[in-house]
Amino acid sequence: MPKQKTTQTPDTASLFAAIAQNLADAQRHLDDINATLTALAIAGIYPSVPTERWKDDKYLYICFGSGANTHGLTLDAKGRIYIGSDQRAINDARFKIANTIRHKELSRVAQSLDAWIQEQQHEIQHLARQSSQYPRAKL
């Protein structure tokens, strides 16, 4: 006769411990993301993502769209920064553009993860209050 599987329901304390471990892992991941964001900002980013524009296929300008955050930048009348034809300056500008794009993406991920952590912490508090109302549900 085949053995029947028995399912054991984990107790409340072990469930809370597993959830707490998942939240700790998520918080560590969020801390890593925030450290990366700081490193990107130190390496150099623009306040918003610009686009490249070339004049005569020789001179690079980086342009910011209307309404873009350009705080702290010195722009010409058309909302551009002149980079020029120097390869080092072009590489530096492209590096900052790539950092800006990555920073923007990671910022979205960090906000989403932070919201999830907050929501889960709220749920844990709610479950802890509920379980304290029932004498058999021991933590």
Query: Along the 139 residues of the chain, how does pLDDT read in single tens digits?
Result: 566 555 555 677 787 788 889 999 999 999 999 999 999 999 999 999 999 999 999 999 999 887 777 778 888 888 899 999 999 999 999 999 999 999 999 999 999 999 999 999 998 888 778 777 766 555 5
- Look at residues 57, 22, 46 and name the one whose alpha carbon lies nearest to residue 103: 46
- CA distances to 32, 35, 55, 71, 82 from 116, in Å: 16, 19, 46, 31, 42
- CA distances to 33, 47, 70, 109 from 67, in Å: 28, 12, 9, 23
- Tallying the residues shown for the chain, one arrives at 139
- CA distances to 27, 55, 102, 104, 114 from 108, in Å: 15, 34, 10, 6, 10
pTM: 0.77
